[in-house]
Each structure stands twice: as structure tokens, then as C-alpha cells.
Amino acid sequence: MNIHQSTRTYAQQQDQTDPLRTFREQFLIPEKDGQPQLYFCGNSLGLQPKSAREAIEREMNVWQNHGVEGWFEGDQPWLYYHKYCKETLAEIVGAKPSEVCPMNNLTVNLHLMLTSFYQPKGDRTRILTVAGDFPSDQYALETHVRSRGLDPSEVILAVKPQEGEYTLQTEAILNAIRENERSLALVMMSGLHYYTGQVFNMKAIAAEAQKWGIRVGFDLAHAAGNAPLHLHDWGVDFAVWCSYKYLNSGPGGVSGSFVHEKNHDANLPRLAGWWGYDEDRRFEMTPGFVPMPGADGWQLSTPTILALAVHRASLAIFAEAGMRNLRNKSVKLTGYLEFLLKGINGEFDNPITIMTPTEPEARGCQLSLLVRKDGKKLFDDLTQNQIIGDWREPNCIRLAPTPLYNTFEEVWQVGEVIREFYQ
């Protein structure tokens, strides 16, 4: 299937006809020795939007000029700051604005959601997840289960890939749900696996879980702003994500939560704080927790306005570009990287195994490469050539061409450096 060509001219042509080509100008590209780097690490920390500094500056000025009145005064009072992010966040994850709220940080939000949605009762105590999920999620599940007086080794059921495979078949996950439907209280897993780059079939997983009355939640750290999401329509109970990866909202920036509308009036158990209290009465400071309707009711603390300001500035770029357009470019850009790697494999006796699935529906922008030999040498060679990827011991290189700021020409350059390495 020769849809692409491995020439610089071809890559440049793709950039010239790319409807999103100007968005790169909205970002600060890290430089080394006066040269812009080829940044393929948006899966770990997205680049800084040029508008971020100004957004912080604005709130610094409000603080300087109004002090505490900044919470209530001006055209964008801090009190409602989370609301300024809702519409775009809802679009990104496929939700209603009332179902999403930027808040806290990811692992914190995961614990908060587990408190509400993990309700072991009788025989139904188990949690189904995927093997090798991100460590923080594993630790969260393990300790959360323990905090309920249960034994993680009995309760947590991790679905593994079949012998000799790197990724999971959807059917294996669905079967595991079916086979354990009586003992499962919750399905909780990544929507996009951080290591392999696989996007799980969340729609099918949510449908299967719901069929048996099992709740389902996803960690979308690698999926938000990257893969198509329709959380509301899929009937997902809850989701959490961070904003510093594809959402470009700065290191440790504010994270997000989704709570499906069907759960808003369910009077679920929760760990509450005053920022989740009914906004109109929050400052009455009366006892007895009255939650805000929707996802907002899971907020705990006074939000970090400076982090929200950056988040909002970054989300504005997503609103302008549109998730559908971003995804269209992403499929092409990652497809081009895959095409070049396959060419290299053909030329040099398959030195690289692409762990990430080939079907666009089963991946986001990241490709995870297993390098048969001298993986670290190849990675160092990429770094020397100003290509920033991500290295995982013992032999994995992850590269994430992101549609907002990476170009086809950069992808071509990556291919050239790898080809020359094997020559």
C-alpha cells in the first residue's frame, strides 16, 4: 500500500496542504544550539502555547490590582474559572459541559472517583483492569482496595495480552467481563495504554460492562486531546485525565474529571470539600455538605487559578483547531511515520517491531517501537540529531507526532535518521 513517499519533497508538500499547518506557530518549540528540536514527546509533556505566559500574566495582574476581590470582580472572576474550560473540555472528551470539570490532579481524581464508583457488595467486589497499566493507576487501585479492607490480589483482575502479543484483543477484555460478571463491581482501565499506544475499544467495553450492571471508568491521560472520545454516548460512568500531556497545559497542570449525567443525582458516596459545595451558598459556610450539580460537585479545594489560566489558554487552541480536524491530521501524520518505519524494516531485515496496532481506531498518535538490537544507541542517535522521543528500558522508544505542532517534514527527518543508523 504505497499511499506515501519517503522523500523530503513529498513531506513538504503534505505540510503545505495541511489545513492545520499554522497552529505550530502558536507554540514555543524548544531549541538547542539555536536550532528547533524535533519534539516527539507530547505524550509526556506537551509544548508550551505562546498564549500561556500572557494568560498567567493576566491573573497576576488581577491579583496585584484587586487582591481578594479577584474572586468576584472583573469580567472573568476566579470563582467561576473552572467553567471557562468546560465547553472545550466537553468537546474533547465527548461529554456535556455539566459532566466535566477541571480539578485537582489525575491520581487524586482517580481516588475520588473510586470512592464514589467502587462499591464492593456481597460477591461483587472485583475490579477488572489491564495488565501493565501506568504505575500510578496500579498503586491507586491497590491501595484503594486495601483501604476498603479487601485484598488486592483477590480483588484486582488484570487482563493480559495473549502469549506472543503486545496488545489486547477487545474480545479478550469482553470475555473477561462476561466470565466474571457476577464478581465484578467495576471496570477501571486506561483508555489508551501508555506503553503500547493501544486505544482500547471503550465503546464496546462500556457496553459490555453496562449489560451486566457493572460500572466502568477510564483513565484518559494519553487519550484526552489525542483519540476520539464519546464518553456520554458510550455511557461511561466516570473518567479522569491529566492536562500536561496532549492538552499542553504545563507540567503538573490541573487535571480533569468526567461524571456521566446518569450519576449526577445518584447520591453517591464521596470525599467532599468546600469547592464542591453548592456555589450559591458556599460562603454561608453552613454545616452539611450540599454538592454542586454535576461533575463540579467533586471539586475539593480552592483551584490553582494560575494552572487553570494556562489550561484555558491551551484549550482555546483546541477549540480553534477542532478535535475532528486534529484527528484527521493525526491519523495521516502517524500513518506517515509508520510507512517510513515499514520501509526501513523492509530495507534492513526488520530491526524495529511496532507494538502499537496498525488500525487507526486502535491507536492515537504515538507509536511504540521495540528495537531488536542497540535500542539505546538508536535512541541516543535520535537525541544527538535533536529528535526528542522517550526511552523505556530495556528496548522501547516511544514517538508521538502530535498534530498541533509536528510536521510531516519532521516525521520524514526521523525516518532519515533511523535509516542512516542502520545503513
184 annotated ligand-binding residue: no
Would you say 109 or 386 has its CB closer to ligand PLP? 109
Is 136 annotated to bind ligand? yes
Q: Residue 131 carries which DSSP code? A: T
Q: Is 302 annotated as a binding residue?
A: yes
* Residue number with CB closer to ligand PLP (224 or 344): 224
| Count of other CB atoms within 10 angstroms of residue 379 | 20
On the 0-12 / 13-18 / 19+ scale of CB atoms within 10 A, 16 is exposed
* Minimum separation from the CB atom of position 407 to ligand PLP (A): 25
- Write down the least CB distance from residue 272 to ligand PLP, Å: 20
Tell me whether residue 200 is annotated as binding.
Answer: no
Closest distance of CB 194 from ligand PLP, Å = 4
CB closer to ligand PLP, 20 vs 206: 206
SS (H, E, C) 326-390: HHHHHHHHHHHHHHHHHHHHHHCCCCEEECCCCCHHHECCCEEEEECCCHHHHHHHHHHCCEECE
219 versus 409: smaller Cβ distance to ligand PLP: 219
Pairwise CA distance, residues 418 & 412, whole Å: 10
- Helices 408-422 and 8-16 pack at an angle, to 10 degrees, of 160
Query: Rounded to whole angstroms, what are the CA distances from 142 to 115, 127, 182, 189, 386?
Result: 13, 10, 21, 13, 39
For residues 221 and 340, which CB has a smaller minimum distance to ligand PLP in the complex? 221
Q: Please report how close the Cβ of residue 418 comes to ligand PLP at its closest, in angstroms.
A: 25
- The least distance separating ligand PLP from the CB of residue 223, rounded to whole angstroms, comes to 9
Q: Is 402 annotated as a binding residue?
A: no
Smallest gap from residue 233 Cβ to ligand PLP (A):
23
**Bond from prior residue into 394 cis (ω within 30 degrees of 0):** yes
- CB burial class (10 A; 0-12, 13-18, 19+) of residue 164? exposed
Please report the DSSP string for 211-234 in residue order. HTT-EEEEE-TTTTTTS---HHHH
Residue 222 annotated as part of some ligand binding site: yes
Minimum distance of ligand PLP from residue 219's CB (angstroms): 5
Question: Please, which residue, 190 or 196, has the CB nearer to ligand PLP?
Answer: 190
Contact 399, 363 (CB under 8 A): no
Nine-digit cell string for 145: 482496595
Name the residues that contact ligand PLP, by CB under 6 A. Answer: 105-107, 134, 136-137, 190, 194, 219, 221-222, 242
Amino acid at the residue 190: S
Q: Residue 202 or residue 418: which is nearer to ligand PLP going by CB?
A: 202
Annotated binding site: 106-107, 134-137, 219, 222, 244, 274, 302
Binding residues for pyridoxal 5'-phosphate: 106-107, 134-137, 219, 222, 244, 274, 302
